[in-house]
Chains A and B, each alone.
Chain A
């Protein structure tokens, strides 16, 4: 085989990494290099340095160390039975690409994943070596996200956590049966065990010793995971149920939902359909409602009998339309929990309402200035100068929000 140039390796190995949705560079400790001895900084919030035409942000240099892989996961472009071109970066190549891109302000840091070569331990060891070289030899203080290999030795994951800001492990599919069917070499129980170990270790890293000494920081930005949506037949209720369990059991920072999109040289087991982007979007909305708006899983997914979310209207609006007995709501009096359930009110708007109504009563135009989406909210609230009248209970309320019906094509 002829030797690949750095450019062609980068092409192959970034191509292989594009199906990972996560690109966040947020949630870690604040660091900078004002002492002049290193390179890089992190703030609380991440920075997206570019956007690809697929609408996804480019915050990190997201690459695979190698796309050689001994596993055969049906949905993955790098599975052993695929004819995709293969390449492998050396440790130095990854390090120098990261540093050079970083110096030109293209990226916030590195997101390193890998196919599994030889054995999980050998692969993980190489990934840790890259993170260590960046941190120790180059004093790199930017963001590092390592995709950990669930079967790797706990000591390696421990080391990875000392150098990386975030670690992640993909559960890939919402149910164990689907994992068994599409990723026969992966073991959901092992993935869960590794996530549990991560949580224990992270919690242990906040305990001070008896002398008051703090142990070294362990992956300050926590752990995340990804689930592929639309490759198997799981319903939204199943997916969100799995996500809720993951958030609860392992204190995940994020669960990413990735609409399954056709891959080059696909396995026969999977349909090459248009990726269900709208479904992915609705899942994220539901995820936010569960985490920040005090909604219950059953409230969100109970609206429809088939256990899927309404694709035409957002889940909060769908809930409000199905539960109109709670509305209209008096914005000047309602408690915070109920305000959060008004369609068109976000957490920030609710905070502003609560801060202002201690001084004075609110009017319709005040809410508009506070950032509420009044077109949606109007039907569900009353104010000193606004009442929705019969609008709240009108039969065609849904039609005001749903996209207009489309005539099916005759051909």
Chain B
């Protein structure tokens, strides 16, 4: 009877050496007693295996891989079973590929256990930060209790992954250390007292919130994360609470039902669904021509603005009138002529500005042969928004002169109290907007003295704009 004792560290090499010597000495499997660890019971003579210089044995590569894995299993019979298979190998062709063979099937099952244990160790080791934060290499430590002796075969994985930090994995039978790029193994430790790590709280928060209470599947969790690992997993302490509260959370969700959307939703969606603005004046003109082919009742054609596309000043009136509609140009009717005269007096050159209207179509009611001007309706203003937004986007003026309530409403969102707000700049999403009255207001004042005063104030406004543009 031959007794062999294998060490807890370096078991794989020790088993291979022993097996090689035993096979060279032609020792049959039934005459070998295998022991693991230090204190081997010595019932029979433990004759040391004589080192032989027998020729190396040839085995299939798949056997070596199998043996190197199975030696780490906790089953006390593993070494004997491996040796028994090795003993049969030379006489049984095709043995390594025969999964129906009971001896191999059993070893493959052990191999699977070890592979799974290694995999779970890669997954479930949890490091804690133990070093002072100012060290060049950070330091971490973990306590782990594997089912099989998998620390040694799994440690290279951690060395390849966490190479820029020092770490230690302590287990009851072996401790792996990685310091300054060197991996070493020592005997096991009692469970060390690792300092608290604040990141564990964040991890717990993540674990709780990634859980979907509507789909509880406890068996799927426990089959992949068996309870035996829970005591060393910081997140496992939350599981009970999550499960206990899951049903109530789902019921609450269902009872609550749909709520009213927040105020910002409608605005965002409206912006999102708004048609894309035109990119060039040519595109805008083509679009206007296309729309003008179908006349609308009580509405004139689309009259676009005119002036340089890179103007620094944009002048916005109300809407085209009868004359503008006929000529297809903005601000050329009676009010336009008044504007031109006052602007000239104020020193403001209309030709350098981009002149346009807030609303693009002349709105009127037909009275006999005359078309009577109608104030734009809300729908006209909504329709016109795309046009004026496109024009602003293309011209990108430094200042916009808004004349009258409609232009003020369109550009600042508020068309009330123009007389109180005039002669001032208001900031808007489209840029600074200078407010003043519409020149047609001057034409409508019945009292000549009043009209003269108002025209003077209008002139002052235009002069102020000129000064702003010159500055």
Q: Does B294 contact A (CB under 8 A)?
A: no
B421 to chain A, nearest CB (A): 31
A374 to chain B, nearest CB (A): 13
Across-interface contacts of B101 in A (CB, < 8 A): 369
A65 to chain B, nearest CB (A): 15
Complex contact A15–B209 (CB within 8 A): yes
Contacting residues of chain A (8-38) with chain B, CB-CB under 8 angstroms: 10-12, 14-15, 17-19, 32-38
The 8 Å CB contact of B243, one of A36, A49, A51, A53, is A53
Across-interface contacts of A133 in B (CB, < 8 A): none
Complex contact B100–A356 (CB within 8 A): yes
Complex contact B253–A61 (CB within 8 A): no
Complex contact B205–A34 (CB within 8 A): no
Complex contact B261–A55 (CB within 8 A): no
Question: Per-position contact with A for B122-156: 1 when CB-CB < 8 Å, else 0?
Answer: 11111111000000001010100000000000000
- Stretch touching chain A among B196-204, B407-415, B433-441: B196-204
Q: Does B42 contact A (CB under 8 A)?
A: no
- Stretch touching chain B among A167-175, A199-207, A257-265, A338-346: A257-265
Q: Does B366 contact A (CB under 8 A)?
A: no
Complex contact A53–B268 (CB within 8 A): no
B293 to chain A, nearest CB (A): 30
A60 to chain B, nearest CB (A): 10
Complex contact B218–A53 (CB within 8 A): yes
| CB within 8 Å for A36 and B163 given contacts A104-B128, A261-B212 | yes
Q: Does B93 contact A (CB under 8 A)?
A: yes
Complex contact B268–A70 (CB within 8 A): yes
Task: State the CA gap A356–B253 with chains docked (Å).
Answer: 55
Q: Does A272 contact B (CB under 8 A)?
A: yes
| CB within 8 Å for A265 and B99 given contacts A61-B206, A106-B203 | no
Q: Does B40 contact A (CB under 8 A)?
A: no
| CB within 8 Å for A367 and B100 given contacts A81-B265, A100-B199 | yes
The 8 Å CB contact of B265, one of A50, A80, A370, is A80
Task: State the CA gap A357–B213 with chains docked (Å).
Answer: 48
Point out which of B99, B138, B235 has the most chain A C-beta atoms below 10 A from its C-beta: B99
Across-interface contacts of B52 in A (CB, < 8 A): none
- Stretch touching chain A among B72-80, B220-228, B280-288: B220-228
| CB within 8 Å for A34 and B160 given contacts A55-B217, A363-B100 | yes
Q: Does A399 contact B (CB under 8 A)?
A: no
Q: Does B379 contact A (CB under 8 A)?
A: no
User: Which secondary structure dominates where chain A touches chain B?
Assistant: loop
Complex contact A70–B160 (CB within 8 A): no
Complex contact A53–B162 (CB within 8 A): no
Q: Does A40 contact B (CB under 8 A)?
A: yes
Across-interface contacts of A277 in B (CB, < 8 A): 215, 217
The 8 Å CB contact of A356, one of B98, B102, B213, B239, is B98
Task: State the CA gap A266–B261 with chains docked (Å).
Answer: 11
Task: State the CA gap A387–B159 with chains docked (Å).
Answer: 53
Contacting residues of chain A (40-95) with chain B, CB-CB under 8 angstroms: 40-41, 47-58, 61-63, 70-72, 80-83
The 8 Å CB contact of B259, one of A51, A55, A106, A265, is A265
Complex contact A54–B212 (CB within 8 A): yes
Complex contact B210–A19 (CB within 8 A): no
Complex contact A369–B161 (CB within 8 A): no
Question: Per-position contact with B for A257-294: 1 when CB-CB < 8 Å, else 0?
Answer: 00101111111100010110100000000000000000
Across-interface contacts of A97 in B (CB, < 8 A): 202
Across-interface contacts of B368 in A (CB, < 8 A): none
Across-interface contacts of A359 in B (CB, < 8 A): 93-94, 97-98
Complex contact B140–A103 (CB within 8 A): yes
Q: Does A6 contact B (CB under 8 A)?
A: yes
Contacting residues of chain A (169-214) with chain B, CB-CB under 8 angstroms: 185
* A-side interface size class: 35 or more
Across-interface contacts of A356 in B (CB, < 8 A): 94, 97-100
Across-interface contacts of B272 in A (CB, < 8 A): 70-71, 185
Q: Does B242 contact A (CB under 8 A)?
A: yes
Complex contact B99–A33 (CB within 8 A): no
Across-interface contacts of A369 in B (CB, < 8 A): 99-102, 105
| CB within 8 Å for A268 and B258 given contacts A6-B202, A36-B163, A40-B161 | yes
A64 to chain B, nearest CB (A): 11
Task: State the CA gap A358–B99 with chains docked (Å).
Answer: 12
A274 to chain B, nearest CB (A): 7
Complex contact B163–A33 (CB within 8 A): yes
Question: Per-position contact with A for B226-243: 1 when CB-CB < 8 Å, else 0?
Answer: 000000010100010011
- 3 tightest A-B CB contacts, nearest first: A55-B220, A366-B100, A55-B217
Task: Show 28 A/B contacts (Cβ-Cβ < 8 Å), sorted by A.
Answer: A6-B202, A15-B209, A19-B212, A34-B163, A36-B164, A38-B163, A38-B164, A51-B220, A53-B242, A54-B215, A55-B216, A63-B206, A72-B269, A80-B261, A80-B264, A80-B269, A100-B199, A101-B199, A103-B127, A103-B140, A104-B140, A104-B199, A105-B125, A261-B212, A261-B214, A264-B253, A359-B93, A369-B101
Using a CB–CB cutoff of 8 Å, the interface residues on chain B facing chain A are: 93-94, 97-102, 105, 119, 122-129, 138, 140, 142, 157-165, 181, 197, 199-203, 205-221, 224-225, 233, 235, 239, 242-243, 246, 250, 253-254, 256-262, 264-265, 268-269, 272
